[in-house]
Amino acid sequence: MKRQVFIVWFVIFLVWAFYRAYFSLPEAIDELLIKPLIFVLPILIIVFVKEKKKLSDLHVFPSRKDFFLDLYIGVVIGVLFALEGLAVNYLKYGQFSFSPLFSVKAGGGIIGFFIINLFTSLWEEILGRGYLYQRLYRETNNQMQSAIVSSFLFLLLHIPIMFTRLQLVGTSLLIYPLSILILGVTNCYILTLRRSLTLPILIHTFWNMTVALYL
């Protein structure tokens, strides 16, 4: 199982890196079409065909009671992220600069921006936490090791975009990957605690929006 996890991740990484290097399509196509094909389709094939398990094994769908609690917690965390983003925005510009927000509105609106980030988080959490982390945890029975390793693999999947679309330089080149690693480890523990990807997906979504809008 452990060997299979690394092989699956490596194949996905190679395909994703190749795509990022040679193709530059609109973000909506990347996140709503290409990413699920590369990140999620192989996982579903393995879970359904090779492992003979159901989608519930990835903990995508919570119970109704858990869903509303996770939704409430996620919104609260989203508000905290927004406040953090405003603070960083002020420190960066010396005043509140909402030019990134106006750019988002011009490009399709806040709702569209949220939807794209929500689906992005869904695909990435299915791969990063639903598959990589859970399979490593079952194999090793070591939560911390599994969380760190799976989060590092998750971080490596972001390397292509760091040097293509985002073109990060300076301190951003250090802060961005570190924040991804922390996000990954945090969501691993939340998944174990809540037994559902709902809250990790929401946290991931609001984190993405905070980074895109203010950082």
The 8-class DSSP code of residue 51 comes to S
Q: Which of 72, 178, 71, 201 is nearest to 130 (CA)?
A: 201
Instruction: Report the domain count for the chain.
Output: 1
**Distance from C-alpha of 105 to C-alpha of 161, rounded to nearest angstrom:** 23
If DSSP codes are grouped into helix, strand and coil, which group holds residue 97?
coil
As a whole number, mean pLDDT of residues 97-113 equals 62
**Distance from C-alpha of 5 to C-alpha of 126, rounded to nearest angstrom:** 13
Write the CA distances from 94 to 81, 87, 91, integer angstroms.
19, 10, 5
What is the predicted pLDDT for the residue at 81? 81
Sign of CA dihedral 134, 135, 141, 142: negative
Hey, what are 179's tokens? Answer: 């924040």
CA atoms in the 13 A half-sphere facing the CB of 18 = 7
What is the predicted pLDDT for the residue at 188? 96
Which residue range is the domain that position 125 belongs to? 2-214
Query: pLDDT tens digit string along 12-53?
Result: 999 999 998 888 888 889 999 999 999 999 999 999 999 999
**Distance from C-alpha of 209 to C-alpha of 215, rounded to nearest angstrom:** 10
Comparison of pLDDT for 25 and 212, the residue scoring more: 25
Residues constituting the chain: 215
